[in-house]
Structure 1
């Protein structure tokens, strides 16, 4: 890692001096202290029809390897703006950001350290083609991803491994043993107590689970309110470590499939207005149809209204 030799304020040669918890370059003339901060990069994981966008790098480092659209953040832009710009420049796609996927450190003590901020995104325009500093740009399904030694950086490999693993999650009705396991998860994470065992034993209700092998990553409970009319979605929960990878959205999709199989006209649910998951419901096609301000009923603990959402089957 290249060290600064001269003071950028007065031009005096810098000297090593103890400052804080380490030796730092300090100007003996004006007192300037030179801090070496990590660089910041931003990028996107753009998914469309169960496929992810990768670009083939045309410049060093790692020329001719595949990676996610990403690059360094300029001083006059936000990380979000940089992620959108880099995606457009490298892949030709205009995107909107959906969620923060992760923050990854890279580099070493001998090299410049950096931080990659990665966002989930979806396309809103443009056409996929190799742009600046890229040789190629393609969509890859989970089973089509290049081998690890052809992925540009370990940060990109980690994100793609997580994405591929999330795509392999299965969604189905729970068994009685899995209902008991889900109740334990509910208790562990402080969710409202629910008798999932009773739910799986009834014909007019179901506990849907998202599983990675034998591990339950999330669940949703549904019950038929009015045969032929309404299915109620009581709650959707995903383990904190498994969020941001589309599992909640796919639990909603599975819930809609269940409602269609029951031949009902709509799926309804309710959420606290402060719940950030509302965005997931709206993107899945739910619409807000009303709200209830519980504070009007002299409930002092109610700080936000309850929103009622509905999804009309067939819309």
Structure 2
């Protein structure tokens, strides 16, 4: 188990500081037959699914709705779980575990917060410079969509 040792400021005892993966959410937003992707304002740069870190006291669903609104200005609804992705190398900055939802979007998309740009993409014209493991996530999404429609 990976941990560091800390000194308790109150009593001086040595305590363990456990390092755990950080929970995040990502959302595949379907809007008018296309998917919403954001171009990241911060490193790592490139195109990504809207998403981010889960705040303390927040459910995964609440975090997905908040992050979608913050980054795309869209309201989302009809959230469905696509899956969870936990490869320790999925984010080179820190070990994260993401829960990915698929949702419908409503409103006028506009890049905000951590997004410098936003575009709607069809499934056959996705950008090649996707961040994190979002390429693999989108491939899973497309495979699942094919099974449902086929």
Q: Is the TM value for this pair above 0.5? A: yes
Structure 2 CA distance for partners of 1:152 and 1:10, relative to 1, 3 Å: same
TM-score (norm 2): 0.84
Q: Where do residues 1-315 of structure 1 align in structure 2 (5 Å cutoff)?
A: 4=4, 6-8=6-8, 10=10, 12=12, 27-28=13-14, 32-60=15-43, 62-63=44-45, 65-108=46-89, 112-123=94-105, 125-147=106-128, 150-154=129-133, 156-166=134-144, 169=146, 217=147, 247=148, 250=149
Greater RCO (Cα-Cα under 8 Å, separation 6 or more): 2
Q: Which one has a larger percent helix, Structure 1 or Structure 2?
A: 1
**Runs of 4+ that moved beyond 4 A:** none
Q: How far apart in 2 are the matches of 1:143 and 1:11?
A: 60
Relative to the length of structure 1, the TM-score reads 0.42
CA distance in 1, matches of 2:87, 2:113: 23
Could you say if the C-alpha distance between residues 135 and 112 of structure 1 is closer, same or farther in structure 2, counting changes exceeding 3 Å?
closer
Runs of 5+ unmatched residues, structure 2: none
Residue 67 of structure 2 aligns to a residue whose secondary structure is helix
**Higher Rg:** 1
Question: How much is the aligned-residue C-alpha RMSD, in angstroms?
Answer: 2.3
